[in-house]
Amino acid sequence: MRLRALSFGVDRSIVLRHDGRRMAAAVRSRPSPIAWLIAPALLLFVLFFVLPFGVMTAMSFFSSNPVSNPNAVLTTRHYERFIVDSAGIFHDALWSTLRIGLVTTVISLLIGYPLAHWMARMTSRLGHALVLMAVIAPMLTGIVVRTFAWMTILQDKGVINTLLMQWGLTDRPLPLMYNEFGTIVALVHIYVPFMVLTLTGVIGRIDERLEQAARSLGAGRLRAFVEVTLPLSLPGILAGSLLVFALSISAYVTPSLMGGTDVLTLPMLIAQQVGTSFNPGFAGALGVILLLVSLAIVIAYNRILARLSGEQGLA
Partner 1 sequence: MSAPANRRPFDAGRAAYLALNGTLLAFLLVPIVVVLIFALNPTPYISFPPVGVSLRWFEKFFASADFMNALWLSLWVAACVLVLSITIGGACALALARGNLPGRAFLTAFFMSPLMLPAILTGLALFQSYLLAGIGRPTWGLILAHTLVAVPYVLRTTLAVLHNFDRRIEEAAAVLGASPARVFFEITLPLIRPGVFAGGVFAFIVSFDQFPVSLFLVVPKGETLPVVLFNYMKFDLDGAIAAASMVSILLALSVVLVLERLIGLKAYVKL
Residue 49 or 95 having the CB closest to partner 1: 49
CB of 92 to partner 1, least distance (A): 19
Residue 41 or 86 having the CB closest to partner 1: 41
Q: Is 115 in the site for partner 1 (CB under 8 A)?
A: yes
Residue 79, class by beta-carbon neighbours within 10 Å (0-12 exposed, 13-18 middle, 19+ buried)?
A: middle
Crossing angle of helices 20-29/2-18, nearest 10°? 150
With contact defined as beta carbons under 8 Å apart, do 192 and 112 qualify? yes
Position among 19, 22, 51, 208 found at the interface with partner 1 (CB under 8 A) = 51
Position among 98, 102, 103, 132 found at the interface with partner 1 (CB under 8 A) = 132
Number of residues binding to partner 1, judged by CB under 8 A: 102
User: CA distances (Å), 64 to each of 112, 119, 164, 277, in order?
Assistant: 45, 53, 53, 13
Position among 49, 89, 208, 227 found at the interface with partner 1 (CB under 8 A) = 49
* DSSP class of 33: G
62, β-bridge pairs: 74
Q: Is 163 in the site for partner 1 (CB under 8 A)?
A: yes
With contact defined as beta carbons under 8 Å apart, do 63 and 280 qualify? no
**What part of residues 81-100 is at the interface with partner 1 (CB under 8 A)?**
none
DSSP string, 210-222: HHHHHHHTT--HH
* Helix, strand, coil percentages in the chain from 3-state DSSP, rounded to 5: 75, 0, 25
Q: Is 173 in the site for partner 1 (CB under 8 A)?
A: no
Q: Is 164 in the site for partner 1 (CB under 8 A)?
A: no
How far apart CA 270 and CA 250 sit, in angstroms, is 11
Residue 88 or 146 having the CB closest to partner 1: 146
Q: Which of 293, 294, 291 is nearest to 56 (CA)?
A: 291
Residue 86 or 276 having the CB closest to partner 1: 276
Q: Is 79 in the site for partner 1 (CB under 8 A)?
A: no
Burial 284-304 (b: 16+ CB within 10 A, else e): bbbbbbbbebeeebeeebeeb
Position among 201, 219, 230, 262 found at the interface with partner 1 (CB under 8 A) = 201
Stretch of residues binding partner 1 (CB under 8 A), selected from 70-78, 79-87, 135-143, 227-235: 135-143
Q: Is 277 in the site for partner 1 (CB under 8 A)?
A: no
Q: Is 118 in the site for partner 1 (CB under 8 A)?
A: yes
Stretch of residues binding partner 1 (CB under 8 A), selected from 72-80, 81-89, 98-106, 139-147: 139-147
CB of 173 to partner 1, least distance (A): 12
